[in-house]
Amino acid sequence: MTDAELVTIPAGRGAAARLRAGQRVRVINTRGTQCVDTWAFVADDVSEFLSMEHSRSILEKIHFEPGDVLAPNRYAPLLEIVADTSPGGHDTLIAACTEEMYTRAGRPAGHANCADNLRAALAVLGVDARTTPAPWNLFMMAPVGAGGAIRFTRPTSAPGDYVELAALRDVIVAFSACPDDVYLTNGGDGTPTDAHFAVFDPARPS
The verdict on 20 binding its own copies (CB under 8 A) reads: no
- Checking DSSP bridges between strand 79-84 and strand 69-70, what pairing results, if any? antiparallel
The verdict on 132 binding its own copies (CB under 8 A) reads: yes
User: Residue 172 to residues 28, 108, 126: CA-CA distances in angstroms?
Assistant: 18, 32, 11
The verdict on 138 binding its own copies (CB under 8 A) reads: no
Cα(39)–Cα(24) distance, rounded to whole angstroms? 14
Cα(3)–Cα(11) distance, rounded to whole angstroms? 19
Q: How far is the CB of 60 from its own copies (least distance, A)?
A: 5
The verdict on 156 binding its own copies (CB under 8 A) reads: no
Query: Do 86 and 163 contact (CB within 8 A), yes or no?
Result: yes
- Site map (CB under 8 A) of its own copies, residues 35-74, x = contact: ----------------xxxx-xx--xxxx---------xx
Residue ranges binding its own copies (CB under 8 A): 51-54, 56-57, 60-63, 73-76, 89, 93-95, 98, 100-101, 104, 131-132, 134, 144, 147-152
